[in-house]
Amino acid sequence: MKPSIFTRSVATVVTSVMLTTSLLPMAASAEGITAQETPQQDTIQQLIQAIDKLPAPSAVHVINEQAINEAQQQVAMLTEEQRLALPNYTKLQALIAALATVKVMDSIDKLPAVSLANATEILQVEAAYNALADKQAVKNAAKLQEALTQLATTQKPITAFEQALAKFTDASITKEVLLKLEESYNALNETQRQYVDHNQLKHWAELLEQNHKALITAIATLPKPQQITVAHRAQIEELMTTFHALSLEQQQTIPNIFMLLAADAALEAVEKSLDVTAELVQMKIALLPTTPSVKDRELILQARALYEQLTTRQKHAVSNYPRLLEAEHALLTQGDAVSTLVAAIAKLPALTKLSIKEQALVEQLKKNYNALSAAQKLEVTNAAILLAAEQKMQTLMDADKKDKIKPINDAIDKIIQKSQLTLADEGKIADIRSALSSLTSEQLIQVKNLDKFKKLEEQMVSTKTKIRKIIADIAALPAVEKITVKDDATVQAIRKSLGGLSTVQREDIWNYTKLVAIEDAIHILKMTPQAQHVFQAIEKLPVVGQIRLVDESQVLAVQSDYEQLALGERIMITNYQKLLEAGKQIITLKQQQAPKGFEHAFTTSKGISSLKEIAETHTLYLTTSALKTIDIALAPEFIAAVKAHNYEQVSITTATGVVIDVPLAVFRSQLRKTSTLLITKKETVVANRPAVMIELSERTQSGKVEPLNLANKAIKVRVPLAVFQTFNQNGALLMVKEDGFVPVMHRVVNDVVEIQLQANGHYIYSTEWVSFHDVAQHPDAIAVEKLATRHIIKGVTPATFAPNKKITRAQFGAMIARALHLTAHEQTVYEDVKGQWYERDIQALYEAGITKSTGDYQPNALLTRQHAAVFMARVLAYTGQQIEAKQSSSYIDQQAIGKDYVAAVALLKELNIMGGRPDNTFGPQENLTRIQMAKILYRTMLEAKLL
């Protein structure tokens, strides 16, 4: 199996990390440096001068790398005392760290396009970045993170496929699993397939085919049922297990399966006959006298001989075996105890053939030997054999206890955890029982969950009997073409029997498909001729995905026949859902055609690939096959038809996924009757960034083209992030202006930028993250950085924000206008803002109802906390958030809050936008700082779903 690109990159990445970290200061050991090797004073002075000549850490560049490395090597040769005495040693350390940062930033700038082929290079850069001590110094880290995110997305299907592949082995693979794995492989693109192992799937396909053929061949080699013996148990159980591992389709292609079933039944019969033999031995032991004497010697020896002829499983069934041991013990203690013991020892198997099953006999012989007198023990000529047998038995017991009990416990624990047994578990249970029969009584005590296992054995017998009976009952049914209504009762009885099985157990019914086919046949036979006709007509209809308008007459005819059936007959039409779906598909196909009234308008307009009306949403949908540039011209006839149909909006979808929704108001109030609506969308580049130009204009009958005023016209635009060549959802949508960029109010939902178009123009999506060093550690830094990234707020310098500086009403108003993308359309009402940089922003706030002062605006006055609260409450109202506070704010200085501000203060506290101070006061007349402003504006935009 091929390793993933990440696995194959480990060695390279580690090497990269080692190279990067080698820039760190090397500790020079004074040990091993001779007086001759220690640099002299003049050499040290030269080193100090060389370090002094190096640039400051803030100005270091890659071209300085050689000089820094040479200085580092010379420092490594100094003793610890000399190194610490260097006056500019700390500068060298700072240069080494700065060089590492610069090299990482340079590598990020040169990152290749994200692809599996370039994965190693990207991961090397990541490793170098992770090895840095000061990662915050890497200004372009966002670009690396974006590349890593895209790489992980590309690798994800490969990892998922490899993990799925690793779950299966040659022993566990099935046809169904193989098909699912093939589907996963086919879902990969050509590049991804180069990094996964398809040969494993080919191998499994060949293996399953070989197992299928091998099973047919192996079944053919089975003896006839009358020739089956217990020796065939393993062979038959293995074949049954292989059969049940096949899919239902494969099981149905085994032509000689009945030979296997017959052999399995014969084996069961043979085992039952052997059980009778075990019962005879048990009866023979039961007939032994309670107090045997020497005259009973032959009876006891016969019972022993018969017992030794039994199989291991049969011996386990002889429950009164301890009585035979007692009888043998009594025989040994009577008569000639020595000669009896000698004879018994002589019958012991050779040491090489001694097994655990002789444990009880060896223990009894040892007990009899210990019962002899000292003189009698001397007469036991083969006592050494007994001693050796005892020692060998102890060795066998120790090994057996270690090797047998744990696997048996594990196997029992595993099988009792199953909620339902299937035929595939039969062989496992038999194996456990066989293993249990080889244990001694002492070992059996150490077996856990033995009682539960015995119940499972009983359950297995019951389950096997049920399944085999159902299989036999289905097999006994006539062929489908010969079935009659008279067979209905038998079929229903079989179906009732199936109800007692779980879904997993039903999979063992290999001829289940025959039962289903017979049920369907009986269902049809029980129908009236009219119902049969409708049922069969529905079956002849194409599947829903293949329905075409030419099939409409056929669908309508079947629907008519169905409606003429009586209620009782309709219930019999079990495939009615197919007819229903076919009818829906016909309706859908009709809807895709040009709506009535648009036939001529469709041809006179330009740039439209398809036209579809959705009555439920009162929307007319247009699509265009053009890619990066579209030019749609909706003719006057088209506009008239839109008005006549009274659509709520016309939705235009481009081939790249850009969607423009134009509401009815634009068609009614913005356009002349003889004008043409021009809609242009162009994917281009502005300032070296991917951009989208959107423009709606009116072309009059004379040919004059005038841009439409889009402000507050509710024109919605949705642009996939992919159009901007990014998947970063934390960017900012900006409109391109002559003097820079203007933020645009937007949301990112499911990797799509959603905006309400306010003006024609070019739009870019900036992913450059803005941060300020004087708020980096502040708890509200994220609010400042996100608003700054969106160009809603600005720093006092490119690197600083001045978080504690007070904010004026003019500054705060301008920020709100930028956040909401407000545009003024009327004359300025406030005299004290005219001619200032914030004039139109404050007028836009007035027109939006966010500021309502009837006098002057007082732009240079510092903003108070209660004024900020009422501003934010009005922002929420402007964005459609109809929220009222459920209770008052209850601040200690509540009485100091102006009556016009009480509701707003309470609302912002309840929404966790703006709270009080630690002592539960609000401080309504206190001034707001820039960081406080950023915090409440950020939280307000989150609440209004503007971020």
- The verdict on residue 448 lying in a domain is no
Residues 572 and 505 in one domain: no
Percent of the chain with pLDDT over 90: 18
Q: What is the mean pLDDT of residues 407-431?
A: 80
- The verdict on residue 208 lying in a domain is no
* Average pLDDT for the chain: 82
Residues 836 and 926 in one domain: yes
Residues 753 and 651 in one domain: yes
How many helices and strands (H and E) does the chain possess? 40, 14
DSSP assignment of 93-160 equals HHHHHHHHHHHHHHHHHTPPPSSGGGHHHHHHHHHHHHT-S-GGG-TTHHHHHHHHHHHHHHHHHHHH
- The verdict on residue 752 lying in a domain is yes
- The verdict on residue 310 lying in a domain is no
278's tokens: 């075990």
Q: What is the mean pLDDT of residues 82-86?
A: 78
Residues 754 and 686 in one domain: yes
Residues 533 and 517 in one domain: no
Whether residue 498 is predicted with pLDDT greater than 80 in this model: the reply is yes
Of the candidates 771, 773, 753, 772, the one whose C-alpha atom is nearest the C-alpha of residue 763 is 753
Residues 677 and 713 in one domain: yes
- The verdict on residue 830 lying in a domain is yes
Percent of the chain with pLDDT over 70: 91
**pTM for the predicted model, two decimal places:** 0.38
- The verdict on residue 323 lying in a domain is no
Whether residue 51 is predicted with pLDDT greater than 90 in this model: the reply is no
Residues 149 and 73 in one domain: yes
Categorize the per-residue pLDDT at 357 as very low, low, confident or very high, splitting at 50, 70 and 90: confident
Domain boundary among 590, 610, 635: 590
Neighbours of 289 (CB within 10 A): 12
The helix-helix angle for 383-416 and 359-371 (nearest 10°) equals 140
For residue 939, the model assigns a pLDDT of 95
For residue 274, the model assigns a pLDDT of 60
Q: What is the mean pLDDT of residues 428-435?
A: 83
Residues 607 and 754 in one domain: yes
Q: What is the pLDDT of residues 151-187, one digit of tens each?
A: 778 778 888 887 878 878 877 777 778 888 888 888 8
For residue 2, the model assigns a pLDDT of 44
Q: What is the mean pLDDT of residues 252-261?
A: 82
Whether residue 4 is predicted with pLDDT greater than 60 in this model: the reply is no
For residue 18, the model assigns a pLDDT of 37
For residue 293, the model assigns a pLDDT of 65
Domain boundary among 123, 146, 161: 161
- Provide the number of structural domains found in the chain: 5
Q: What is the mean pLDDT of residues 531-546?
A: 88
Q: What is the mean pLDDT of residues 656-678?
A: 87
Q: Which amino acid is at 886?
A: K
Q: What is the pLDDT of residues 274-315, one digit of tens each?
A: 666 778 888 888 888 887 765 677 888 888 888 887 877 778
For residue 275, the model assigns a pLDDT of 62
Highest mean pLDDT among 183-187, 200-204, 787-791, 927-931: 927-931
Whether residue 743 is predicted with pLDDT greater than 90 in this model: the reply is no
Residues 794 and 750 in one domain: no
For residue 3, the model assigns a pLDDT of 45
Residues 550 and 605 in one domain: no
Of the candidates 288, 13, 1, the one whose C-alpha atom is nearest the C-alpha of residue 159 is 1
Categorize the per-residue pLDDT at 26 as very low, low, confident or very high, splitting at 50, 70 and 90: very low
Lowest mean pLDDT, pick from 78-82, 258-262, 607-611, 659-663:
607-611
For residue 11, the model assigns a pLDDT of 37
Categorize the per-residue pLDDT at 795 as very low, low, confident or very high, splitting at 50, 70 and 90: very high
Whether residue 15 is predicted with pLDDT greater than 50 in this model: the reply is no
**Please, which residues have CB within 8 angstroms of residue 800's CB and are 6 or more apart in sequence?**
772, 773, 774
Whether residue 626 is predicted with pLDDT greater than 60 in this model: the reply is yes
Higher-pLDDT residue of 614, 37: 614
For residue 590, the model assigns a pLDDT of 52
Q: What is the pLDDT of residues 880-917, one digit of tens each?
A: 887 887 778 889 999 999 999 999 999 999 999 999 98
Residues 580 and 672 in one domain: no
Domain limits for position 156: 5-161
Residues 582 and 644 in one domain: no
Categorize the per-residue pLDDT at 255 as very low, low, confident or very high, splitting at 50, 70 and 90: confident
Q: What is the pLDDT of residues 833-862, one digit of tens each?
A: 999 999 999 999 999 899 988 789 999 999
- The verdict on residue 637 lying in a domain is yes
- The verdict on residue 452 lying in a domain is no
Whether residue 98 is predicted with pLDDT greater than 70 in this model: the reply is yes
Residue pair 285/303 in contact by the 8 Å Cβ criterion: yes
Higher-pLDDT residue of 519, 338: 519
Domain boundary among 525, 543, 558: 525
Q: Which residues pair with 663 in a beta bridge?
A: 649
Q: According to the 3-state scheme, what is the secondary structure of 412-459? A: HHHHHCCCCCCHHHHHHHHHHHHHHHCCCHHHHHCCCCHHHHHHHHHH
Burial class (CB in 10 A: 0-12, 13-18, 19+), 724: buried
